[in-house]
Amino acid sequence: MKIIVTGDKGFIGSRVKKVLSENHEVYGLCRTDADISDYMAVEKYMKSIAPDVVVHCAALGNVDKSEEDNELAYRVNVIGTANVATCCANLGVAMISSSSDQVYDYIPGGIFHEYMDTLPNNYYGFTKVEGEKLVKQIVPKHHILRLGWQYDRFLDGDEYTSHGIMKAVADALNDNEPINCTSRSYQNVTYIYDTVDAIVAMVEGKLPYGIYNITSENPMNLYDTFVYIMDKMGVPKEQINKLVIENKEFKAKDLRADPFNLKMAGYIMPSFVEGLGKCLEL
């Protein structure tokens, strides 16, 4: 099968391309190949490959950067997604499009399902909602992935592990810099290769088209999550108590999304605890 992975130099796309390349003919599409906000460039590139499936991972994924530069965020996350979707529709191929759990609100106590209305509270989330709408309107054969907080085992000097919860833990341990967090915040945290496995299942036709929360369920609050990770890494309890600091002034936030549609399709995402176990065994 021929597959194009957009954003193949990024955190998610690079890993998707790596795993899919084991059994498929995979081509990357990054800024040096074509600017996704330029329809003609995208069309020319995709026609030259004639893929069977496109996995769209290219995005401006930085929430703060999206707030600072609305125009850039819209151009990449909305116009770029529309361009890729239009090319997929014209070529008659399936599209797997990465979105975000940021399309949901942060209502404390709520666990979000795919059938709930979207209500983003930042500009990045807004662009992702708009991108989703366009994919649904343009591409008959589509998977839309609402991704939670992704992480990999942090390797110093690897630019593609420059963010995520393990990067925060590594920085705290290496720099002796405390992590300020709160027990009033909840968020699913997902091992990137568990996400990649779900994407592979979609590429290979094992999951029906539709919208999916791709998240690993995590009942722990954010404070307990950081403590749990450090404990599993063998960090002494006394050091953990110094490095994980609860800030009582942080607002309550709940961004847990239930992978309901995956379960209905018979696909079970590993839990956060299971994913972390695999990550730390590498």
CATH number, position 209? 3.40.50.720
Tell whether 24 and 95 lie within a shared domain. Answer: yes
Tell whether 208 and 225 lie within a shared domain. Answer: no
Tell whether 74 and 126 lie within a shared domain. Answer: yes
| Burial track 246-272 (b if 16+ CB lie within 10 A, e otherwise) | beeeeeebbbbbbbbbbeeeebebbbb
CA distances from 46 to 2, 12, 67, 132, 189 (A): 11, 20, 31, 21, 33
CA distances from 55 to 7, 160, 248 (A): 9, 18, 41
Task: Report the phi/psi class of residue 229: left, alpha or beta, with left for phi > 0 and alpha for psi in -120 to 50.
Answer: alpha
Tell whether 142 and 155 lie within a shared domain. Answer: no
Name the stretches of the chain with pLDDT < 50.
156-157, 159-160
Tell whether 168 and 80 lie within a shared domain. Answer: no
DSSP H or E segment with residue 229: helix 222-232
Tell whether 160 and 65 lie within a shared domain. Answer: no
- Give the Cα separation of 5 and 8 in Å (integer): 6
Domain membership of residue 84 as a residue range? 2-148+191-214
Domain count, the chain: 2
Quick one: pLDDT at residue 61? 85
Quick one: pLDDT at residue 232? 95
Tell whether 139 and 209 lie within a shared domain. Answer: yes
Residue 123 in tokens: 């500009």
Tell whether 125 and 29 lie within a shared domain. Answer: yes
Quick one: pLDDT at residue 281? 86
Residue 14 placed within a domain: yes
The pLDDT tens digits for 69-94 are 999 999 999 999 999 999 999 999 99
Query: Can you tell me whether residue 72 is helix, strand or coil?
Result: helix
**For the chain, how many helices (H) and strands (E)?**
12, 13
